[in-house]
Amino acid sequence: MIDFKSIDNFKPGSIQRILKNSYAGFIDCFPRDKEKFYKQFEQEDNDAFNNPQTIGKYLFFTCLKGLAIGYCSWDERQNPIGILGQNCILPEYQRQGYGMKQIEFIFKIFKDEKFTEIRVITGEHEFFIPAQKMYEKCGFKELKRINGDLFKRIELYKLL
């Protein structure tokens, strides 16, 4: 059975571990930038665990039989638009519906907080095609394409 747990159930390094493993296939496409990605993941982990009442408040871990298999974060500061941040599932649990369950859970959070729209940015890179398809299945529509330093991104939105 899947459940969702807050940051206070985990130790520092948990976010970094999930991000490293979830994005390993993508990072392999950019070997020169590997350390840059790892530093970003470490910073996300530090920011969340060092600030559990602010940054750490806006994330959850997706757990299967007590094991963290995914991680999702969001930003409420643009209310009534909720921004979905990280949304990843460990590779060995991908394509089993857990990402959709994370999205359903975040929909509930945003609806409970009276948000009217959700936005998310994903990559245009082929690594992100499964995520793109999942977002489309969840009702997201493309808003715009964004040029990035390594790859293009796609901003999607969904009205609640």
pTM of the predicted structure, to 2 decimals: 0.94
150 confidence band (pLDDT: 50, 70, 90): confident
Report, as an integer, the average pLDDT of 73-80: 95
Every domain of the chain and the residues it spans? 2-159
Other beta carbons less than 10 A from residue 74's beta carbon: 21
pLDDT digits (tens, 9 = 90+) for 23-47: 999 999 999 999 999 999 999 999 9
Flag whether pLDDT at 136 surpasses 90. yes
| Whole-number pLDDT of residue 151 | 82
| Whole-number pLDDT of residue 58 | 97
Distance between CA 118 and CA 99 in Å, rounded?
Answer: 16
| Whole-number pLDDT of residue 106 | 96
Any idea which fold 2-159 has? Aminopeptidase (3.40.630)
Q: Look up residue 113 and give its two tokens.
A: 């907080």
Q: In the block, which residue shows the tokens 């963290």?
A: 68
Flag whether pLDDT at 149 surpasses 80. no
Radius of gyration of the chain (CA): 15
Taking each helix axis as running N to C, give the angle between helix 34-50 and helix 14-22, from 0 to 180 degrees, rounded to the nearest 10.
Answer: 150
What is the residue-averaged pLDDT of the chain? 96
- The DSSP result for 74-101, as a single string, is EE-TTTTEEEEEEEEE-GGGTTSSHHHH
Residue of higher predicted confidence among 150 and 117: 117
Report, as an integer, the average pLDDT of 133-145: 96
80 upstream amide cis, omega within 30 of 0: yes
